[in-house]
Amino acid sequence: MADSSFDIVSKVERQEVDNALNQAAKEISQRYDFKNVGASIEWSGDEKILMQANSEERVKAILDVFETKLIKRGISLKALDAGEPQLSGKEYKIFASIEEGISQDNAKKVAKIIRDEGPKGVKAQVQGDELRVSSKSRDDLQAVQTLIKGKDLDFAVQFVNYR
């Protein structure tokens, strides 16, 4: 019988992030506490998100609104990498980015967890920015998924290509 397998990936749906950003921008433009303070959130270039306002508290509030919108759209906050508020002229700014892909180090950590704590006979191999997990038993693969979901990893994981 052929091995069954699935991939562990860390991907974010770009359209969902865009929708969350647009919803946050709309809420910021309508909320009373953000009126006349230069509060905004927008894409800065291709991968960066720029939040700015005239005080540190307000720019943190913008980040909070954006995080709430991400959660509602089913995007893990582990994928959001937001910096600290920086003073730029008279405005405070926060640059944030969306992290995708599993780094080599993180993939090795997950593979080690699977080797050490997972069922015997399960193989994990790193393939670029994802991890392929294979086994003869589908029950073992489901046990691995449960194991990985139970771990508190620094990055968001999804399971795809289950076959």
pLDDT(102) > 90? no
Same fold, 4-11+102-160 and 14-98: yes
Q: With bands split at pLDDT 50, 70 and 90, how would you rate the model's confidence at 146? A: confident
pLDDT for residue 46: 77
Amino acid at residue number 129: D
Task: Give the mean pLDDT of 1-16.
Answer: 82
What is the architecture, at CATH level 2, of domain 4-11+102-160?
2-Layer Sandwich (3.30)
Q: What is the pTM of this model?
A: 0.82
Q: With bands split at pLDDT 50, 70 and 90, how would you rate the model's confidence at 2? A: low
Domain layout of the chain by residue ranges:
4-11+102-160, 14-98
Query: Among 3.40.640.10, 3.90.550.10, 3.30.70.990, 3.40.140.10, what is the CATH number of 14-98?
Result: 3.30.70.990
Mapped onto helix, strand or coil, the DSSP state of residue 12 is coil
- Interacting residues of 73 by C-beta distance below 8 A, sequence separation 6+: 16, 17, 19, 20
Mapped onto helix, strand or coil, the DSSP state of residue 98 is strand
